[in-house]
Amino acid sequence: MLGADTTVVAPNGEVLGKPADAADAARMLRLLSGATHQVITGVAVVSAFGVEIAAEVTHVSMVTLLDDEIHAYIATGEPMDKAGAYAIQSYAARWIPRIHGCYFNVVGLPLALVSGMLEGVRIRGEQLVR
């Protein structure tokens, strides 16, 4: 079984989940605007061979956003179910000039980390069967 959840940590240290409403989404985007923030995804793999947990951290830089850009983006509805109120894989990609770390982590599932964890489960399983 695999479980994962992603959160965003604003430059001021505030942990940002999904916005409660449009005003909250605008507030979050203003916090991230013109700064670098962290995206953290926690992952858990549960198998017959045990539980493994890990986290991936990616640093994301965002350009300075104008209020008109923020309101137009919120009007698309896209930020309403995204941690930090943006989706790097869609319209908001144009606001992200650089990242340091795993792109897929920012999308929501750090594939290299998960792949390594699943490989570890497979190896442990083979060792127990021998």
pLDDT in tens, 83-92: 999 999 999 9
pLDDT attached to residue 126: 64
Range of the domain at 76: 2-129
Do residues 86 and 19 lie in contact, with contact meaning Cβ atoms separated by under 8 Å?
no
Q: Is 5 a catalytic residue?
A: yes
Q: Which two tokens stand for residue 19?
A: 């916005």
pLDDT attached to residue 128: 55
CATH of the domain at 8: 3.90.950.10
From the list 17, 12, 29, 16, the residue with the least C-alpha distance to 68 is 29
From the list 28, 39, 103, the residue with the least C-alpha distance to 70 is 28
In tens digits, the chain (130 residues) has pLDDT values of 999 999 999 999 999 999 999 999 999 999 999 999 999 999 999 988 889 999 999 999 999 999 999 999 999 999 999 999 999 999 999 999 999 999 999 999 999 999 999 998 877 776 655 5
pLDDT attached to residue 121: 82
pLDDT attached to residue 49: 83
From the list 35, 55, 34, 33, the residue with the least C-alpha distance to 44 is 55
Domain tally for the chain? 1
pLDDT attached to residue 26: 98
- Residue 130 burial (CB < 10 Å; 0-12/13-18/19+)? exposed
CA 99 to chain centre: 12
Q: Single out the catalytic residue among 5, 21, 67, 81.
A: 5
pLDDT attached to residue 79: 96
Any idea what DSSP says for residue 68?
H
Element (H, E) at 52: strand 50-61
Indicate the SS3 state at residue 121: helix
